[in-house]
Amino acid sequence: MKQEKELIKSDARDIALRAIESFRRKNAWPDYLLRAYIEKGLLSKNDSALARRIVSGVIQNRMLLDYYISYYSKPSLKKVHPTVLDILRMSVYQLVFFDKIPHNAIVNEGVRLTKKYSTPQAAGYVNAVLRKISTDVNEGKLTDVNVESEEQRLSVNYSHPEWLVGEFIDSLGAFETEKLLKINNSVDTTVYAQVNTLKVTTEKLLLSLKKDALNVEKHKWLDDCVVFSETPNISGLSAFKEGFFYVQNPASRLAVYAAGIKPGDLVIDGCSAPGGKAFASAITMKNTGSILAFDLKLRKIQEIKRGTARLGINIIKASMNDSSKPDERLIGIADIVLADVPCSGFGVISKKPEIRYKSEHSISGLPDIQKQILGNLALYVKPGGVLLYSTCTVLKRENEDVIGHFLDENKAFITSSFSLPGIGEVKNGKITLWPHLHGTDGFFICKLKRQP
């Protein structure tokens, strides 16, 4: 933590402010902007670490920060200029959540930024608010969140929209929901890599990576998976360049386990990019059989092809195809069809904290899209074959409800049991993986079998 005292540099906070503003104004993913500054050499390693921490912290805690600011501010937040409010959020986040940087330095930086991007009058206002909060934090008197319901308390404390908290509570109850929200707001630098056993064993890969002084271990319950405890420069590693592994969360890998893919199968991966499930399928198939990997965008197909070449896989044919529309050439040909459909992404909030702020309206059309894709991909399954539905969300409307509708409309399909490492038998053919319960991304998997 000594490092934090050395990181009080204006560049980091200036750039953090720009990233936060970009997210607020354009809904742009802040990580892309930060990465661009780093690649241009505008941020040192230490400055980039501070900027990332501030940006992710503000996004993870924005509703709570606004609650604190509104309590200590005379004018309502609606009357505060958006840029000034962003500066307050950055500063209050540091006052509340950093324990090593001196408070006067944080306050001074907030005032400096306000003078630079606003007016002297606004700087005086920022100074007054921050000093009130700093005093109460130091004296242990920071205001508690005082709201009417448990749902509202969880919403404000963990900065998740109230409607989304309500959906989690419907599935988990309030006690388990709070555990999930804590995980969503954690700082997780873990990276999971799946071993390309076509080229190397897990043991040899670990030896190779540890020679580079990387902190990496074998996954506790998932075979041929290794875990980086800190995010390295993945693409710069010689083991990556040689195709010894690819990055994929255990949840996605488990979907391929559930499908029961075998060497020699014909597999269709309907929404394939960035290609992880196709890669896992090819490795499981020992590079024998055939995989048709589809996506709508050329750049994503090119990304799959690059990954395929790097991994030394020759059974994947990647091409542009709209999986929501029937292709007569594919009807009834596949042993396995993977339908990892577009979704709200609410299972990966810990990785992408900005996702939580999607409006309920913005995701309202997703179930219809999911039903359309699932219904179309079902046409490609041969009698006795498998249709594997998956999403990286945990909302019932995109998961169980979509499956229920599909089964009502497609009597030839039934759910089929499967077994997963680390989890065991899934007798009803469908499971929601929860980050706080399973140690994976939030994910839904359902195995459907077409009756002979």
d(CA 420, CA 426) in angstroms, rounded, equals 8
Question: How would you classify the pairing of strands 266-269 and 216-218?
Answer: unpaired
Structure tokens at 414: 């039934």
| 277 alpha-carbon distance from chain centroid | 16
Question: How would you classify the pairing of strands 443-450 and 413-415?
Answer: antiparallel
Q: Tell me whether residue 343 is one of the annotated catalytic residues.
A: no
d(CA 300, CA 343) in angstroms, rounded, equals 17
d(CA 387, CA 394) in angstroms, rounded, equals 20
DSSP conformation class of 142 = P
Q: Burial letters for 287-301: b for 16+ Cβ neighbours within 10 Å, e otherwise?
A: bebbbbbbbeeeebb
d(CA 35, CA 48) in angstroms, rounded, equals 9
Asked whether 283 and 197 are in contact (CB, 8 A), the reply is yes
d(CA 31, CA 301) in angstroms, rounded, equals 23
Handedness of CA 47, 92, 77, 186 (dihedral sign): positive
Surface-to-core class of residue 227, CB atoms within 10 Å of its CB (0-12 exposed, 13-18 middle, 19+ buried): middle
Q: End-to-end CA distance of the chain, in Å?
A: 62
Q: Looking at 225, 271, 343, 392, which residue is catalytic?
A: 392
Asked whether 226 and 216 are in contact (CB, 8 A), the reply is yes
Q: Burial letters for 138-157: b for 16+ Cβ neighbours within 10 Å, e otherwise?
A: eeeebeeeeeeeebebbbbb
194, 278, 386, 425, 451 from 418: Cα distances, Å: 21, 19, 11, 6, 16
Active site residues: 392
